[in-house]
Amino acid sequence: MSKMIPTKHVDAHMGELVSDLQMLIRQPSVSAKNEGIEECAILVQKLLKKSGVKSEILRLKKGVAPIVYGEIKSKQNSKKTLMFYNHYDVQPAEPFDLWDDPPFSGTKKGNKIFGRGATDDKGELITRIKAVEACLKTTGDVPCNIKFVIEGEEETGSAHIEEYLRKYKKKFSCDGVIWEFGYVDAKNRPIIGLGMKGLLFVELSVKESIRDAHSSLAVLIKNPAWRLIEVVNTLRNSDGEVLIKDWYSEVSSFSKNDLKIIKNEPFDENVFKKEFGIKSFVGNKKGMDAKKALVGGATCNIAGFVSGYVGDGAKTVLPGSALVKIDFRLIPKMDPKKQVLRLKNHLKSKGFSDVGIRVYHGEAAARTDSSHPFVSQVKDAADKSFGKSILNVSNAGTGPMYPFVEILNAPCISIGSTYMFSRIHSPNEFARVDLLKKTTKCMCEIMINFGNS
C-alpha cells in the first residue's frame, strides 16, 4: 500500500492511464455497425478487474449490446453509493480520409491522444476507473460504494438503457450518478451540468393525389405542400413560442438558485453569433433571456421539409405529397406522451385531421435540483481540481438522463474531461492529457466529498 494520497497517485501514474486509454481506443467499438462491441465489453471488464473492481457482463437479450457492470463496496463508508454512467461504444469514424492518423491508432502527440472515442467516451471512462484505482492503491478502500454502468448503445440512441435500468433496478440502486460526459471550456473550466432537455421527434405528412401532376392542374388539384405549410404555420409563432394548447401547462419557472446559477454562467453572445454568422437571436433575445433559453427553452424546430422538385432549375410539378420533420425540445415536467396527444388534438381542432403523424422518439427532460447537496459536493471537487468551474442548470441538448432520475431516483450530474473543441463525433477527435489528469483527480475528490457527506 502506498502512502500517497489518491490525487498524488494519479500524478505519478498518468503513463498507465494514457496507455490503457490507447488500448481502449485500439479496440474499435462502433455500435452503429455492430463492430467490436462484444470485444470491447470484455476489454472494459478486464480493465475494471485489473483496477480492483469486481465486474460482470449484463445482458438483456440477443442483439442488444451488453452492459459492463462494475461494483466495489467501501469498507469505511458503505452508506452512500455513487454510480459512474459511461459507454464503451463509439461513433463511426468515417470519413476516414479526413483523419491525420488512423482513427483507431490512439496516437499520442504531445498533450493530445487522437482517436475515435479518445474523449467520447473512452477518455471519460478511463478517468473514473483510474480514480477508483488510485483510491484503492493508496488507501486500500474507496471513499463510498462505487457502481459502474457502462453501456454499448449510447451512440445509437441508448435504445435499451431504460429496460436495463428497470431490470437491474435493485442492482443499480445508488444515491448519485456522475453522467457519462462533461465539457471543459476554452478557459479550462469544467462545466457542471445538472440536467438535459427532452426531445420529441415527429414527422407530419400530407398526401393529396396518388401521383405528382403537371402544375397546370394546380387550379383544381390541391397542393399538399400548401396544406402542410398552413399546418406547420399554426404550431409556433415567430418568437419561438409553441402555440399548441397546454404545451407549457406543467412547466414551472426557474428557482432563485437556478437564476443565480444562470446569471453566473458565462456566455459570450458576440462570439456565438460570429461562429454562426447571425445577427440576432430568436425573439430578439439578449443577455439573461438568451441564457435562460439555452438552459430552459422549449423549441419546435423544423429539422427537415421536403415536397416536390428540389433539384436545380425549374420544373412545373404539382407534388403528390409533402413531409416535415419536427423536433421539439422538451423541458422538465413536459411528458412526451402527453405532448404527442396535445399535438394530435391541435391538428384535429384546427381542422387538420388529414395530416399524418409519425412519432420517432420521445424522451423527457431531466434536471437535478440545483440546491441538492450533491451539487455542491461536485462543485467543490471541481474547484479544487481545476481551480474554477461553471455550474449549468441544464444542457441545451438531450440525453437519456430521465430514466436514471426517475427509475433510480438519484440526482445526476454531468462532469468530465471533454474539451469543448475536442472534435467529438468528427475526424481527429482527441483527448487532452492535462484534462484527463485533472478530471481523474476531480473524480477522486467527488468520491471523497460524497463519502464524507
Contacts with its own copies by CB under 8 A lie at: 197, 199, 201, 208-211, 213-223, 225-227, 229-230, 232-233, 236, 238, 240, 272, 276-278, 280-282, 285, 290, 293-294, 297, 299, 301-311, 313-319, 322-323, 325, 327, 329, 360-361, 395-398
Q: Closest Cα partner for 247 from 326, 335, 327?
A: 335
Taking the complex as a whole, the smallest distance from the CB of residue 414 to its own copies amounts, in Å, to 14
Taking the complex as a whole, the smallest distance from the CB of residue 224 to its own copies amounts, in Å, to 9
Taking the complex as a whole, the smallest distance from the CB of residue 163 to its own copies amounts, in Å, to 20
Q: From CA 164, how far away is CA 58, in angstroms rounded?
A: 9
153: left (phi over 0), alpha (psi -120 to 50) or beta: alpha
3-state DSSP assignment of residue 115: coil
3-state DSSP assignment of residue 217: helix
Q: Give the DSSP H/E element, type plus range, for residue 54.
A: strand 54-58
Q: Residue 110, exposed/middle/buried by CB under 10 A (0-12, 13-18, 19+)? A: exposed
Judged by CB, which is closer to its own copies: 42, or 229?
229
Q: Are strands 81-87 and 176-178 parallel, antiparallel or unpaired?
A: parallel
Taking the complex as a whole, the smallest distance from the CB of residue 370 to its own copies amounts, in Å, to 19
Taking the complex as a whole, the smallest distance from the CB of residue 293 to its own copies amounts, in Å, to 4
Judged by CB, which is closer to its own copies: 292, or 441?
292
CB contact set of 273 (below 8 Å; sequence gap of 6+): 279, 280, 281
**How does DSSP classify residue 240?**
S
**How does DSSP classify residue 233?**
H
Taking the complex as a whole, the smallest distance from the CB of residue 328 to its own copies amounts, in Å, to 10
Judged by CB, which is closer to its own copies: 232, or 448?
232
C-alpha cell at 58: 449484463
Measured CA to CA in angstroms, residue 204 lies from 69, 247, 305, 355 at distances of 40, 18, 10, 7
Question: Which residue in this structure is represented by grid cell 430521465?
Answer: 402
Taking the complex as a whole, the smallest distance from the CB of residue 116 to its own copies amounts, in Å, to 19
Q: Closest Cα partner for 85 from 31, 165, 186, 166?
A: 165
Taking the complex as a whole, the smallest distance from the CB of residue 51 to its own copies amounts, in Å, to 34
Judged by CB, which is closer to its own copies: 112, or 423?
423
Judged by CB, which is closer to its own copies: 278, or 341?
278
Judged by CB, which is closer to its own copies: 55, or 395?
395
Q: From CA 126, how far away is CA 116, in angstroms rounded?
A: 14
Q: Closest Cα partner for 191 from 200, 201, 181?
A: 181
Taking the complex as a whole, the smallest distance from the CB of residue 432 to its own copies amounts, in Å, to 22
For residues 67 and 167, is the Cβ–Cβ distance under 8 A? no
Count the neighbouring beta carbons within 10 Å of the beta carbon of residue 106: 24
Q: What is the largest CA-CA distance in the chain?
A: 87
Judged by CB, which is closer to its own copies: 186, or 303?
303
Taking the complex as a whole, the smallest distance from the CB of residue 184 to its own copies amounts, in Å, to 18
For residues 328 and 430, is the Cβ–Cβ distance under 8 A? no
Judged by CB, which is closer to its own copies: 215, or 376?
215
Judged by CB, which is closer to its own copies: 89, or 327?
327
C-alpha cell at 442: 476531480
Judged by CB, which is closer to its own copies: 309, or 421?
309
The answer, yes or no, to whether the previous bond of 239 is cis (omega within 30 of 0) is: no
Taking the complex as a whole, the smallest distance from the CB of residue 312 to its own copies amounts, in Å, to 10
Q: How far is CA 372 from the centre of its chain?
A: 21
Judged by CB, which is closer to its own copies: 71, or 120?
120
